[in-house]
Amino acid sequence: MEVNNSLIKIFDTNKEVNISESKLNKDKTSGVFFEDIYKASINLYDEVNEKQFESNKAQMDFVTGKTDNVLGVIMAQESALSSLNFTVQVTNRMVEVYKQIMQIQV
């Protein structure tokens, strides 16, 4: 089975989780590869959730008059939006990979 390197990389907003093919071949029976991807995706969802929370807090602070920093509110909103869009793209790619794996005949 040929493994595409682009399927092995998961990009996070702060770091890249890169699992080499040698580790994949070594650990594919133990499930470590899936565990690493699962943990990275959970961390990604947590970070997106935190950015959404920060964006909502910045909006509420601006609306209630606690701050007058419009640029900070816009930056928080755009950061949360770009993180959410990235997470949706990663999720869609993982679903595509899952479908490809399920089509493999043993």
Judged by DSSP in three states, 71 sits in helix
pLDDT at 85 (0 to 100): 94
How many structural domains compose the chain?
1
pLDDT at 36 (0 to 100): 82
Q: Is the pLDDT of residue 48 over 80?
A: yes
Q: Is the pLDDT of residue 50 over 50?
A: yes
* Residue range(s) defining the domain that contains residue 72: 5-34+43-103
Q: What is the CA radius of gyration of the chain?
A: 18
Percent of the chain with pLDDT over 90: 42
Where does the pLDDT of residue 95 fall: very low under 50, low under 70, confident under 90, or very high at 90 and above?
A: confident
Q: Which residue has the higher pLDDT, 94 or 72?
A: 72
Instruction: Return the number of other C-beta atoms located less than 10 Å from residue 58's C-beta.
Output: 22
CB 47 within 8 A of CB 82: no
Which is it for the CA torsion 58, 69, 87, 3, positive or negative? negative
